């Protein structure tokens, strides 16, 4: 049985694993055919050297052109898809802006029904009590019937700064009550000269 000579492509890297089998020739031919149909640059070079005259690159250029056309088609489809997406986003934003503007104009043309507002009742600036004392709600100072004053926020006696006369050595005179407070804390009525036991 005569076997025709088979030229193996130099680009073929596939090994014949079953060379000892009875059909090794059929496997070798299949391997050669598969290398002939390989893609990419190697396949293009093979087809240029096998299907065209030796040294011709016409097939290589044709395959390269086909692949370039395929890539261009893919890129054009991607650009078209992006353009459609951006157009949809712009249309949605335009619709939302128009809706917001319509709602604002509708609110201006049809304002809500006004409701009566009653401000909360405030305390009187001065509250007078039956025992003759009074409370200044602005400064939180209570003036007792005897004329002494108390800061209601601290509970301590209050003396207006303008009523105090500093006499030196820690003594001072309260001109509103005529009480002299000495350095040791002794309180004296400046008119009578008598000590006072109540806080003034």
pLDDT digits (tens, 9 = 90+) for 123-175: 888 889 999 999 998 889 998 888 788 888 888 888 778 888 888 888 888 88
Q: What share of the chain is helix, strand, coil (3-state, %, to 5)?
A: 40, 15, 45
Comparing CA positions, the residue from 165, 170, 172, 163 lying closest to residue 184 is: 170
Residue written as tokens 């001072």? 172
Structure pTM?
0.31
More confident residue, 36 or 71: 71
100-109 pLDDT, tens digit each: 988 888 888 8
pLDDT for residue 6 is more than 50: no
Query: How far, in Å, CA of 41 to CA of 118, rounded?
Result: 87
Residue written as tokens 């016409």? 58
């Amino acid at each position: 049985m005569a076997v025709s000579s088979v030229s193996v492509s130099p680009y073929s890297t596939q090994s014949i694993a079953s060379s000892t089998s009875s059909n090794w020739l059929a496997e070798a031919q299949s391997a050669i055919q598969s290398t002939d149909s390989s893609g990419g640059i190697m396949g293009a070079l093979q087809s240029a050297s096998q299907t065209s005259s030796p040294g011709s690159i016409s097939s290589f250029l044709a395959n390269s052109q086909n692949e370039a056309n395929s890539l261009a088609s893919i890129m054009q489809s991607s650009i078209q898809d992006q353009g459609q997406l951006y157009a949809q986003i712009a249309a949605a934003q335009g619709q939302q802006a128009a809706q917001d503007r319509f709602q604002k104009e509708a609110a201006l043309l049809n304002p809500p029904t006004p409701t009566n507002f009653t401000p909360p009742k405030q305390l009187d600036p001065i509250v007078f009590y039956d025992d003759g004392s009074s409370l200044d709600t602005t400064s939180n100072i209570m003036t007792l019937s005897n004329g002494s004053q108390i800061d209601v926020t601290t509970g301590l006696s209050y003396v207006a700064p303008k009523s105090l006369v500093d006499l030196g050595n820690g003594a001072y005179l309260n001109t509103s009550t005529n009480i002299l407070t000495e350095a040791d804390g002794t309180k004296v009525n400046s008119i009578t000269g008598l000590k006072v036991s109540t806080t003034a």
